[in-house]
């Protein structure tokens, strides 16, 4: 899950990311900060007429975002909240990701969303997406920040249905409940 510590990030699995477009599904999946990406919007280094043409090198997603200029970050007001508006900053670029030791065959968006914490530090979320080029940044931020509301709704529904403290272990037990 995006931003969660110690959880598996679904975007780390290249097989999973390949299967979603094959099923005609779009995705926005969290990846670790050390995911290697090659920025496809950068021009390749000059060719010296020897060997294979050089390409822009792969770099970690966190290092890529740290090198982005401050004016490239887009400020987005995601939604109102109990403690005021939820405001984040985001960037995106078209990349070739390198996961599980091999470069991916398709281009994806690297989306980095950062949120300033109460102590002044920034919390970063790194995501890969196959969304259409025209997808606005606000949609990426909205989808990322909807995670917590969805989890809250599921917890509330489990409590209302009486499943909050009930562990179903068998098919018969589920249907009797």
How crowded is residue 98: how many other Cβ atoms within 10 Å of its Cβ? 16
Structure confidence by residue, pLDDT tens digits, 39-83: 998 877 777 677 777 788 899 999 999 999 999 999 998 887 777
Q: Global pTM?
A: 0.75
CA distances from 85 to 78, 82, 89, 143, 153 (A): 7, 8, 13, 16, 20
Quote the mean pLDDT of the chain.
82
Question: pLDDT grade, residue 173 (50/70/90)?
Answer: low
Given a cut of 50, whether residue 5 has pLDDT beyond it is no
C-alpha of 52 from chain center: 33
Structure confidence by residue, pLDDT tens digits, 9-25: 778 888 888 888 889 99
Cα–Cα dist 57/53, whole Å: 12
**pLDDT value, residue 9:** 77
Cα–Cα dist 151/54, whole Å: 45
CA distances from 158 to 166, 168, 169 (A): 9, 12, 16
Report the percent of the chain where pLDDT is more than 70: 84
The two tokens of residue 172 are 């018969």
- Span 94-120, mean pLDDT? 88
**pLDDT value, residue 38:** 92
The residues, any chain, with a CB within 8 Å of residue 109's CB and separated by 6 or more, are 92, 93, 94, 95, 127, 128, 129, 130, 131
Q: Which residue has the higher pLDDT, 156 or 34?
A: 34
- Span 168-176, mean pLDDT? 66
- Span 85-97, mean pLDDT? 90
């Amino acid at each position: 899950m995006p931003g969660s510590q110690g959880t598996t990030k679904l975007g780390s699995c290249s097989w999973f990311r390949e299967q979603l477009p094959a099923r005609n599904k779009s995705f926005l999946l969290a990846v670790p900060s050390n995911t290697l990406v090659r920025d496809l919007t950068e021009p390749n280094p000059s060719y010296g007429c020897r060997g294979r043409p050089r390409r822009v090198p792969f770099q970690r997603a966190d290092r890529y975002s740290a090198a982005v200029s401050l004016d490239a970050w887009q400020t987005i007001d995601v939604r109102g909240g109990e403690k005021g508006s939820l405001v984040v900053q985001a960037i995106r670029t078209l990349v070739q990701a390198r996961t599980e030791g091999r470069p991916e065959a398709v281009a994806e968006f690297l989306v980095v969303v950062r949120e300033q914490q109460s102590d002044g530090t920034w919390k970063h979320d790194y995501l890969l997406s196959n969304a259409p080029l025209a997808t606005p940044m606000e949609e990426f931020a909205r989808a990322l920040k909807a995670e917590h509301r969805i989890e809250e709704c599921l917890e509330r529904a489990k409590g209302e249905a009486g499943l909050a403290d009930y562990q179903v272990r068998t098919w018969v037990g589920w249907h009797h409940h």
